[in-house]
Amino acid sequence: MGAIYNLSGRFAIVTGGAGGLGLGIARALLDAGAGVELWDANAAGLAEAATELGASIRTVDITDRSAVDRATAAAFSAHGRIDILINNAGVLGEVKPIWETSPEDFQRVLQVNLFGAYLVTRAVVGRMRQQASRPSRVTPHPLRGHVVNIASIQGKEGMASAVAYSASKAGLIALTKSVAKETARDGIIVTAITPAAAETAMAREISAERRADILGRIPMARFVEVEEVARMVLWLSSDECSFSTGGIFDLSGGRATY
C-alpha cells in the first residue's frame, strides 16, 4: 500500500493535463482529495480527460501571456485560491543532431517547455504570494502553496539529438532553483523532478533505435511508470514536503545519481 496524503481542501492546476503524465498526476491529486483544474491547448483531449477524471478543465495556450493571465485570474476567481501548481506541459521536438535541426522547432520547444512554464509560474505564484497561508497538518510553519516542475533527466545530462528538449529542461531546473529562492520566505515550496522516459505519447514519438538507446542508459533497464511519477509529485505537493524548496528530485532509475 502506498503512502497516503491528505490534500483535502487544496486546489491544483496541472498544465499539459490532456496528456498521459498530466492525467496520471491529476488522478493521484484527486485521489488524495484535492480539487484539480487541467490546462491544455488540446480542447478535445481536455474534454476526454474531464469525462475520465471528473476534473475541471480550461483550454489555455501557455505560450500566450494574455491567455495565461486570463486563465490564472479565472482560476483564482473560481476556486478562491491555488495551493498546488504542476508545470507538466511539454513537447519533444526534433530528434536530430543540431546541424540538422530547424531554428523554428528549437524555438517552439523552448516556448512550450520553458517560456510557457515561466509564464504560468509568474502568473500563479504572483497571486499565490498574496493569498493567506494555511496552517500545515504536519509542520508548525504555515504554507501558501507548492509548485512542482516536471523537468527531465536530459536536463541534467543533455542528450545527443535532443538539443532543444535538453536545453529547455535544463532551463526549467534553473528556473525552479531561482523561484524557490525568491519565495522561500513566502511559504511557497518550489521543486522539480527529473524523470527518465515514461510510457506516454511522447515516448511513442521516438524510433525503436532511439528507444533502445535511452533504455540502455537506465541501470534499472525500464522506463519510469506514470504512477511512479505521480507518487513523487504527490509528496512534493503535500505538507510533508516543507523544507525541500529548490530541490531537484531524481526519477531516472539510476541514470543520474546527483
Distance between terminal CA atoms of the chain? Answer: 28
The label of the residue with cell 473560481 reads 78
How many angstroms separate the CA atoms of 229 and 240, rounded?
17
Q: What is the pLDDT of residue 198?
A: 80
* Average pLDDT estimate for 82-100: 97
pLDDT band at 105 (very low <50, low <70, confident <90, very high): very high
Q: With 0.85 as the threshold, say if the pTM is over it.
A: yes
User: What distance in Å separates the CA atoms of residue 74 and residue 123, rounded to the nearest whole number?
Assistant: 12
**Listed range (98-107, 113-122, 220-229) with the worst mean pLDDT:** 220-229
pLDDT in tens, 10-42: 999 999 999 999 999 999 999 999 999 999 999
Residue 3 banded pLDDT, cuts 50, 70, 90: low
| Rounded CA separation 122/205 (Å) | 31
Question: Which domains are assigned to the chain?
Answer: 11-250 (3.40.50.720)
Q: What is the pLDDT of residue 125?
A: 98
124-172 per-position pLDDT tens digit: 999 999 999 988 878 889 999 999 999 999 999 999 999 999 999 999 9
Average pLDDT, the chain: 94
The phi and psi torsions of 124 (rounded to 5 degrees) equal -75, -45
pLDDT in tens, 71-86: 999 999 999 999 999 9
Tell me what pLDDT residue 176 has.
Answer: 98
- The tens digit of pLDDT for each residue in 202-217 reads 667 777 888 888 888 8
pLDDT at 214: 87
Tell whether the model's pLDDT for residue 199 goes beyond 80: no
| pLDDT number for residue 1 | 40
What SS3 class is residue 56? strand
pLDDT score recorded for residue 38: 98
Q: Which residues are catalytic?
A: 165
Rounded average pLDDT over 185-194: 97
